[in-house]
Structures are given as C-alpha cells and as structure tokens.
Amino acid sequence: MDFNYTEEQLMIQKAARDFAQSELLPGVIERDETETFPTEQIKQMGELGFLGMMVDPKYGGSGLDTVSYVLAMEEISKVDASASVVMSVNNSLVCWGIQTYGSEEQKEKYLPRLASGEIIGAFCLSEPEAGSDATSQKTTAIDKGDHYLVNGTKNWITNGKTASVYIVIAQTDVEKRHKGINALIIERGAEGFEIGPKERKMGIRGSDTHSLMFNDVKVPKENRIGEDGFGFKFAMKVLSGGRIGIAAQALGIASGAYELALKYSKERKSFGTEISNHQAIAFKLADMAVNIEAARHLCMKAAWDKDNGNNYDVSGAMAKLFASQTAMDTAIEAVQIHGGNGYVREYHVERMMRDAKITQIYEGTSEIQKIVISRSVING
Ligand code: CAA
C-alpha cells in the first residue's frame, strides 16, 4: 500500500497552501466580522483551477482526481472555511453532478464557466420541512409538456445570492414519492425566481446563505438532469461525493486549529516554561494529532474509493462523521489551549470553533451519516 502522494498531488497541495496563506489569510477575520463574501478570492480560485478541479479539461476543468481535491480543500479550509464551502459546493455538487449526469448540451453550456469561476453554482435540496428527510420535497415541478412549472421555497442555500446556476430538486409526481422527483437547472434571473434574505449565521459567515422562492418559474425540459424521476437518486449520488468535500473541509478546520494551537503552545509561557511542556497541554496536542491523522486517512480512503470506481457512500459518510467531530473537538481544544486569547477574534481559533459546527450539520447531519453507515453495517 502506497501512502505517498504523487508529484502532481503535492504540487496542488502546495499551490492551495500558498494561495490560502497569501490571499485568504489577510482578510479572513474582517470578512467573518462583516459577513462579506470573498468575491475577489473566489475569482482567483477560479483562475487557479480550484473551482472545477475534477472537471474534464475538454470542458475547461483541471481534470484532477478526488485525492487532489481533498488536499486542496484541506489547505483552503485551514484558513478560510467560508471560501472552501463555495469551492466544495461548486466542485462536488454542481460541476460533478452536471459532468456525471448532465446532457452533452448541459455540460458544454455550463461546465466551462463554472470551472473557471466566471459563474458559481448552487445546489438546492433543503426546504423548511425537508432537511434530513430529503424525500419530503414540497417544491413542485409540474410537467407542462415542453417545460416544468416550478413552485416552492428552498432554505439554507449556499451561494444563494452569488450563484448564476441553481440545481433545484423538486417533486413532479407526488404519487411516485422519491421516484417522482426531478433535478432541474434554473438560471438566475428566471421570471418568478426570487432570492430571499441572507441568513445570519454562527459560522462560515463569509459565505452567502439564502432562502430561494420559486413562483411559477418556467423551466425548459432540456434543463432536467437525467431521466424523468431521476432527481432523488441524483441528489443522493451527488451528496455522497459532496460529503467527501465537507469531510475535507472539516479536516482542514481541524488541522488549521491544531497548527495554531501547537505554535501558540510553544511560544506562550506559564509557570516558568512554554505551555507545551505541561502535560495537560501536551496530551491535548497528542489527541488532536491522532484524530487529525485518522480523519485524514478516512478522507483519503473515501477519495481513493471514488477515484477507483468503488462505492463511496459509506466511506464518504464515515469520513464526514469522523472528520466533522474531529473539527469540533480540535477547535474547542485549540481555544482552550489559547486561554483568554482563544476567545478573541485575532487568534482565529474562535472563528474555527464556530465554523467547525456546520460540518456536523450540512450535506447531512452526523445523525444522517450514522443512518447511512448503520444501514450498511446491518444490511451489508
Ligand atoms: N446513491 C444512489 N441511490 C440512493 C442513495 C445513494 N447514495 N441513497 C439512497 N438512494 C436511493 C435508494 O436506493 C432508494 O431508491 P429505490 O427506492 O429505487 O431503492 C431511494 O434513494 C430512497 O432511499 P431511502 O429509502 O434510503 O431514503 P430515505 O428516505 O430513508 O433517506 C437518507 C435516506 C440517507 C436519510 C437521505 O434522505 C439523506 O441523505 N438525507 C440527508 C439529505 C442531505 O444531506 N441534505 C443536505 C442538503 S444539501 C447541502 O447541505 C448543501 C450545501 O448547501 C452545503
């Protein structure tokens, strides 16, 4: 078994690290404070190929594997989880979804602009009453012959206001339950499509999260992804891959918090010595290091499964479950190691603690991951 990364993967990791340090770090506290979307930085990420990492070069993407994507996500997330959620949704849910299940026309029309960052995508599944229970879609897409008429509300949509292309999951045939759901591409500016107010969030405050309202929005049939009724399976498949991206985000938050805590513990003195010399602190660092290493292995295993054509529903769920818990635990302990300094903005770890929490909630809560894992454990 070879645990080494390839030259190319190491190059991607370094490029992402350099970008995060030079372009994301300087304004990250202010963007969090003012809830400002990293517009300029996302544009740069597009130019560097970070927004269409797994997109085929023939559609303008970087043509990289999922392992490279995880490496880049970790580096970006170490510094700015608001920027990395934009990256994650655009890569995993939107680009990968269209590339894998879209028509040739959809790929040609949307992928080059999504991969370059000229436009950003959003994935719209959650509703006021359909978060974890994703089959209970209330948004309807009624078949009107050559188009669908879409009505309903979507909630907590990442890139809600910034996106230009929205993949919207909606119910066409209620009788058929999840087999009557479709995934439709809706463009910003479509008549009857309104963007609701911005959510005021605990963390990832630089990302823009909105509710969306669809009022008799006409969507041409050619904007449906896959066959009629494929929408729920599409959402599940796309989310399975998305969970690897969010696991990598969680891994990044954890390793970012750990690196700051480690550095601080070697500089800060108490009782006549650096605090890293106190076993109370040293043991925390040891626990962090072990959990981060375990989370990294789970993330890489899931990415490897995806790259090698294996089923990654369960490995992705395991990676997300464990990495998000690690992010939360590590960020809390990083604040603790920083003491009073950890509680104030300029030391970064309090933001990481707030950002970590969402990784246990979006793209399936930890409880959802346990449903996916336990079903596989019990039923094989
Ligand atoms: N791949 C392919 N098909 C799948 C699948 C997968 N991974 N998971 C389920 N399915 C299929 C099943 O095979 C079944 O199809 P058949 O009837 O043909 O056999 C169908 O989907 C229904 O499956 P279940 O009976 O298992 O469905 P369920 O109602 O029990 O739900 C669930 C399963 C795992 C709980 C699912 O509802 C789920 O994942 N919920 C969480 C949704 C979620 O992650 N939301 C996050 C919103 S997006 C977001 O956060 C993005 C963002 O902005 C950052």
| DSSP string across 200-255 | --SS-TTS-EEEEEEEEEEEEGGGB-SSTT-HHHHHHHHHHHHHHHHHHHHHHHHH
Pocket test for ligand 1, best of 125, 212, 233, 306 (most atoms within 8 A of CB): 233
Which atom of ligand 1 lies at the shortest distance from residue 368's CA? 35
What pLDDT was estimated at residue 40? 98
pTM of the predicted structure, to 2 decimals: 0.97
Pocket of ligand 1 (CB under 6 A): 89, 123, 125-126, 132, 134-135, 158, 178, 232-233, 236-237, 239-240, 313, 362-364, 368, 371-372
Q: Which residue's C-alpha comes closest to atom 1 of ligand 1?
A: 237
Cα separation, 317 vs 350, in Å, equals 26
236 CA from centroid of ligand 1 (Å): 4
Nearest to 171 by CA among 163, 162, 180: 180
Query: What pLDDT shows up at residue 103?
Result: 98
Closest by CA position to 53, among listed 241, 250, 237, 334: 241
- Show the low-confidence residues of the chain (pLDDT under 50): none
Instruction: Read off the amino acid at residue 284.
Output: K
**What's the gap between Cα 173 and its chain centre?**
30
Is 105 catalytic? The answer is: no
Sign of the four-CA dihedral 262, 264, 267, 271? negative
Ligand 1 centre from 283 Cα, in Å? 39
The CA 178 to ligand 1 mean position distance, Å, reads 9
- What does each C-alpha distance from 166 to 91, 120, 162, 192 come to in angstroms? 13, 9, 10, 14
How many helices (DSSP H) and strands (DSSP E) are in the chain?
12, 9
